[in-house]
Chain A
């Protein structure tokens, strides 16, 4: 059974810092990995999707990498802003398309 872990559980940084969020998964036979952002009480917003054949994806200040062999993905946020404060979740789908989520990293960017 796939297990997804995110470290750290919470992170507080001053504005302007570059930061890395980590995601690890136990079964490396994944189709893809998706990073989401969730603001308190809101739905999930997709940030980046990395296919199993890809090593990284970029969108603006966000860069996600994937290393299937080691069962790891990282989300890099450059020049963090207070508006980046949210919970970040990584998720991998199973063969029946059910998503397994990590427990999330709660990010606070201080002005």
Chain B
């Protein structure tokens, strides 16, 4: 399995809703990431999890709450979002180290969740 699977593919939510985005990989990668991408812009890093621990939070508002229940799963919990939070949310994974004995293979991205906040 060489994929990162994200669900749902599309999500429409109201500003008072609570929802969660899910991400799963079975490549044995020990680093997982959430990125946010607005139209015609490159992805922007939100969070990095390394060995199931949050290692980077890029000053993301608290209405976004990440969770890494185990080495294969990454969630992003959403609450009280604003319309400007509408974007494509991408999950990615990579090996835990650039110096893996069997070679480093870079980042693998999921197909994303298109989020619309109304």
- Nearest CB in chain A: distance from B96 CB, A: 8
Task: Number of B interface residues at 8 Å Cβ cutoff, please give it.
Answer: 27
CB-defined contacts of A42 to chain B, threshold 8 Å: 111-112
Is B42's CB under 8 angstroms from A34's CB? Answer: no
Known: A34-B107, A42-B112, A43-B112. A89 touches B45 (CB 8 A): no
CB-defined contacts of A97 to chain B, threshold 8 Å: 31, 33, 48, 50, 94
Is A98's CB under 8 angstroms from B98's CB? Answer: no
The SS class assigned to the B binding surface is strand
A81 within 8 A of B: no
Interface residues on A, range: 20 to 34
How far is it, in angstroms, between the C-alpha of A63 and the C-alpha of B94 when the chains are bound? 23
- Nearest CB in chain A: distance from B45 CB, A: 5
CB-defined contacts of B88 to chain A, threshold 8 Å: 41
Known: A98-B56, A101-B42, A104-B42. A44 touches B106 (CB 8 A): no
- Nearest CB in chain A: distance from B37 CB, A: 9
- Nearest CB in chain B: distance from A69 CB, A: 20
Is B105's CB under 8 angstroms from A49's CB? Answer: yes
Q: Taking CB as reference atom, which chain A residue is nearest B94?
A: A97
A2 within 8 A of B: no
A32 contact from B58, B98, B114, Cβ within 8 A: B98
Can you list 7 residue pairs at the A/B interface with Cβ under 8 Å? A32-B104, A51-B104, A96-B50, A96-B55, A98-B56, A101-B43, A102-B42
Listed in ascending order, the chain A residues whose CB lies under 8 Å from chain B are 31-32, 34, 36, 41-46, 49, 51, 89, 91, 93, 96-99, 101-104
A91-B107, A93-B107, A102-B42 are known; give 10 further A-B pairs, CB within 8 A: A32-B98, A32-B106, A36-B109, A43-B6, A43-B110, A97-B31, A98-B48, A98-B58, A99-B92, A104-B42
